[in-house]
Structure 1
């Protein structure tokens, strides 16, 4: 049951969409290698042919010579004086030097140095005409001048272009020479060094060496000139810059002096003098204020003493006055006299009255003198007050003047700082200018020639080897492409999985080819005499696959058919029947090809006159019509050549009730009834007979039957509901099949076909 279910699961109708398989997206390297190995002779022949073409092409090459010189570039040296960020430094990386070496400017220097415009190797107009393979081919296929004139007259060919003028021709020639030199120049920086190898290829060995050496020399000269030019430009720039800075310093200093003069003119004196005056004024004001305070204290003390009537002798200012001292002395004298008279005379005594009057006068004088001293103290306070006010006013004026002078001084200091900065930059640039001027006379190139180019001893073989190698590679690629093209154009079946995928039917097995020139009878004889051969094992495997296609009800009537004639279905039918006989099962073969019966030619001719047609028309019995082969033990019901077949309709006979009765009788007698039918695409017999059998085996000749024929034949049978159980290969070349199907049945069968053969 499991085998039957498997076969049923894998069966589908032709034309149905195939089931997607993830394995199709994978690249099968073994299949590709196997395919290339099968076509190895195509690759070898294609490679050899391309190699011969490459050898012929290289034989037409002119001998060329390559001269090489090496230049070391010291990228650590500075190229120009670095003036901040103002002067750009020359980029001195090795890659840029390679670009300089192949620049148009340097090539033109080489052209001028060697006068290559007058060299025939570069100026084609100076070379004599030389006949080459290309010129010979163009001469053979070129049109005569008369034909060209006619074509130009009718407008089918454009007239030749007008020749360029002398200047344009010279420019074009120079461009051609530049392009030729650039194409022949090879620059190779040596890895992890500062060395560049300059190579030049030419047809003249001496010319190659001269051009290579001239390139190196002109490169060094151009580099030195570039450095000198850069230094000159830097010097010019620095000179202009120094002059600008000098003028700027002069303008700044003049601005400072002008500001100072303006300040002196406005203030009449400097800020320092004003500040000294302020300091002196502050000192005088402090003294005046102290004096004022002292005067105020003295005045208050004297005023209080006078108002309080104190003793003037106790106060220094009063005591210091001579008048007050005199008045006090007179008062003391008068008071003494009054005291003396008081004891002797009365109060009304004229002497006492006179003395009292004198004492009153003295006291009034003393009071007036004290008032005068107090007034003097008051006046002193007023004077000191005015003095302080005057000093404060003068100090305010000086402070106002100092503030104005300070603002002007700040502006002057700003101008001084700007002048100092301009002077510093000016001095810096002036120093750099002197350094640059001195360096201009000391410039040296950053590169030197390590080894000059020598005259080559022999021609280059690299180009020829490269061409030959390329031709071999292209030949091998063409061979590989041809192999894949042939494989894509193949329209036959070579692999079991290919047959299953395109037909949608299970693969039952394959019968190997017994030999190229063996007849069917020889194949049957070989099968019978060699029961352990690969063919015998393949037939037994096919019979097993047929029987196990339906495990519960093994088919008892089996039909073999194919798409076109000569696919081996008759031989396959006989071999399967012989295998059944060998395994103890009775089997009979019905040759249903009534038009061209093949089994009659396969079996020995014993002059039989009765066959299938005789049974159908009732002139013979079944036992009389069945042929029994003594050697093979086969029973065959066939159409013999002596039976009349000219007026028969095979389709009517095979669909008749009598034929159905014959099939039923044979089915009752034998364990296995095999139908050998005509091709399904040639006649309709196979479609008619498919309704009478339990199983249909579709036979495909290996690497012979077109795919379209197989698909169309199966479609024809499926249209009538034929019980197709699978497909089988016939006449399979096991050696070739092992190469085409490296991992399938044919591969292992081909490799181990002789394992059990004695």
Structure 2
């Protein structure tokens, strides 16, 4: 193998190992996540494909759904068409909101939806009748085979259940508006069904109100005959009591009470007339006794007396003229005097007649007064007698009035309800008719597939990280440092090989080996060769390649190098195809020079092959021989940690300064490395070297 010669120290100075500060779990490092994805790409790709297939299957099995909505105003107050409606108008309150919520239940009830099913023939619609699917057929077949198949479901009931699951209603906040939505696979069908449900509800609401009014009217009509008969019986009973007790009168007053009132009024009037007649008599008699007649109205207003007084005045003028002109002895004077005397006598006779008439009127008034007073006393006695009967009559009449009032109220209400049957007093109406929806329900198909892709990637990433955690592989230097909590000395890329599998030279690998070798040489102290022990926890091939590469790198720099094969399996000896010139055990026992057992290769590398098992007691002798050798560098390929006693003895020998623990990034396990470190113990601090590491680390 061609190695890099004379690598400058300046090339190696900047490749110091990273410190322990700032470490975090490897699965939080994006580079480690990308590495896990690259290594386990089938684990990431499989969930992606499964999720995309599930999305495609869901899209194929679930046709697009469209939801059409309409808005209905449910006014709990109603219309005040007539003064007295069957139900009183409600005011806005919490009870009204409860009423609207109840109407939402009615809107989505089976009564309304069933009529919609019949109206649109949904029982024969494939969307609502149900399509035959492979899964459904298998279930039916299995049910028939197990004897658990149920009865055939009626198509109308199936369509009703499907429509019920596709209908939703809710009351908009702070309003009496209800939003109804219907879902269907067809835009136009969804709009038709939404309009159909709303119209059916309003029609059923109007029909229910009319039917309620009709039934109330029929109930009232059924009571009218009973009320009429009760009123007739009450009237007959009152009339029979009135006839039996001879009580005559109006609804408000008896005849005896009317007569008593009239007699009382007549008696008062008669007494007034009697007093007035007596006063006239006294006035007329005063005139006859010589008083003045001008204060008596009957005399003053009497036409006869007025005429006689006129004649008397004319005769007195003639007498006065005859006395002045002719004297008292003249016949004219005497004739006038006779006429005057006759006229005065006629006036006095007329006054006496008026007085006699007044006395007759006074006597008649007094007689009428006495008669009315006697009649009034008799009526009072009769009124006291019929008082108790009249109380009973009033009770019977009140019963008649109550029966009549109830009967008339029922009669009027029955006629009103008959007229209200044809009136629609509902204020509910559709305020926003349903129209074909523009967009389908659910996310668009691209969004669905994008979500499936993201979900698949997420599951794949989590799965790949989970598998990596479960596998416990080293994979990278950073992951190993994070797991162990200690630094790694260096990492080497994979050994390049040709098409036949033979290792070949590669500049990057040679530089990495040279850098590791010079780093080890810089840590050497004291005289004598630098002895480097190379072991591993679970990777036998990796440590052997590392040991051979270190030895070849030093040999290419013309250093004296001894490569010791201390692996019980003898991997180096077998790979190099060499045979020992002398038995190693015999050489060590005989204290012979170690050079007698070495095999020199064409590259100048000296190899101490392993031919047989090395006795345990010679492990210390081997260490002594290596430390006394004339080589500049001694590389010992040990067995696995805990694999054999010789390896344990050499590892525990503190005279050997350098112990390398090779960890294969691809095949090595973190737990095995941790166990190897614990087995080595705290006294020896091995240096970790990651082999077959990713070149990008």
Secondary structure in structure 1 of the residue aligned to 2:491: strand
Deviation, 1:123, is: 11
Please say if 1:600 is aligned against 2:573.
Answer: yes
Alignment TM-score, normalising by the size of structure 2: 0.53
Please say if 1:89 is aligned against 2:60.
Answer: no
Aligned counterparts, 1:424-503, within 5 A: 445=427, 447-453=429-435, 472=453, 474-503=455-484
Inter-partner Cα distance in structure 1 for 2:577 and 2:598: 14
Deviations 1:91-137 (A, max 9, x none): 7999998x67853444345325335499663999x96x975212333
Alignment TM-score, normalising by the size of structure 1: 0.49
Inter-partner Cα distance in structure 2 for 1:94 and 1:180: 29
Which residue of structure 2 aligns with residue 710 of structure 1? 673
Aligned counterparts, 1:110-121, within 5 A: 110-114=112-116, 116=118, 121=123
Inter-partner Cα distance in structure 1 for 2:460 and 2:98: 42
Which residue of structure 2 aligns with residue 560 of structure 1? 534
Which residue of structure 1 aligns with residue 511 of structure 2? 537
Please say if 1:697 is aligned against 2:660.
Answer: yes
Contact kept, 8 Å, 1:687 with 1:716, in 2: the verdict is: no
Which residue of structure 2 aligns with residue 68 of structure 1? 68
Secondary structure in structure 1 of the residue aligned to 2:692: strand
- Mean Cα deviation higher: 694-703 or 566-575: 566-575
User: 634, 650, 670: which one pairs with 2:605?
Assistant: 634
Which residue of structure 2 aligns with residue 286 of structure 1? none
Secondary structure in structure 1 of the residue aligned to 2:639: coil
Which residue of structure 2 aligns with residue 676 of structure 1? 637
Please say if 1:512 is aligned against 2:460.
Answer: no
Contact kept, 8 Å, 2:70 with 2:195, in 1: the verdict is: no
Contact kept, 8 Å, 1:697 with 1:724, in 2: the verdict is: no
Secondary structure in structure 2 of the residue aligned to 1:624: helix
Aligned residue pairs total 468
Which residue of structure 2 aligns with residue 359 of structure 1? none
Which residue of structure 1 aligns with residue 52 of structure 2? 51
Q: CA separation of 1:53/1:649 partners in 2, compared to 1, >3 Å: closer, same or farther?
A: same
Which residue of structure 1 aligns with residue 649 of structure 2? 688
Deviation, 1:181, is: 3.0
Which residue of structure 1 aligns with residue 198 of structure 2? 216
Contact kept, 8 Å, 2:528 with 2:628, in 1: the verdict is: no
Query: Unaligned 5+ residue runs, structure 1?
Result: 11-18, 149-158, 230-437, 739-745, 747-758
Which residue of structure 2 aligns with residue 274 of structure 1? none
Deviation, 1:550, is: 6.5
Q: CA separation of 1:113/1:670 partners in 2, compared to 1, >3 Å: closer, same or farther?
A: same
Inter-partner Cα distance in structure 1 for 2:581 and 2:570: 14
Q: CA separation of 1:618/1:723 partners in 2, compared to 1, >3 Å: closer, same or farther?
A: same
Query: Unaligned 5+ residue runs, structure 2?
Result: 1-12, 81-88, 212-419
Secondary structure in structure 2 of the residue aligned to 1:732: coil
Inter-partner Cα distance in structure 2 for 1:596 and 1:623: 23
Q: CA separation of 1:503/1:93 partners in 2, compared to 1, >3 Å: closer, same or farther?
A: farther
User: 99, 102, 105: which one pairs with 1:103?
Assistant: 105
Inter-partner Cα distance in structure 1 for 2:64 and 2:98: 28
Q: CA separation of 1:730/1:134 partners in 2, compared to 1, >3 Å: closer, same or farther?
A: same
Inter-partner Cα distance in structure 2 for 1:139 and 1:441: 53
Deviation, 1:535, is: 0.7
Deviations 1:40-91 (A, max 9, x none): 6544443233323443454345x6774735447599x98789xxxx964167
Deviations 1:621-671 (A, max 9, x none): 43333223332x3222223xxx5x3xx45423324x4x34422321xx223
Deviations 1:681-739 (A, max 9, x none): 32222211123411211111112122332222222222xx66233211112243xxx4x
Contact kept, 8 Å, 1:106 with 1:222, in 2: the verdict is: no
Which residue of structure 1 aligns with residue 617 of structure 2? 652
Inter-partner Cα distance in structure 2 for 1:609 and 1:550: 31
Aligned counterparts, 1:242-281, within 5 A: none
Inter-partner Cα distance in structure 1 for 2:59 and 2:18: 64
Q: CA separation of 1:72/1:537 partners in 2, compared to 1, >3 Å: closer, same or farther?
A: farther
Contact kept, 8 Å, 1:591 with 1:637, in 2: the verdict is: yes
Contact kept, 8 Å, 2:68 with 2:187, in 1: the verdict is: no
Q: CA separation of 1:22/1:638 partners in 2, compared to 1, >3 Å: closer, same or farther?
A: closer
Deviation, 1:617, is: 5.0
Contact kept, 8 Å, 1:508 with 1:546, in 2: the verdict is: no
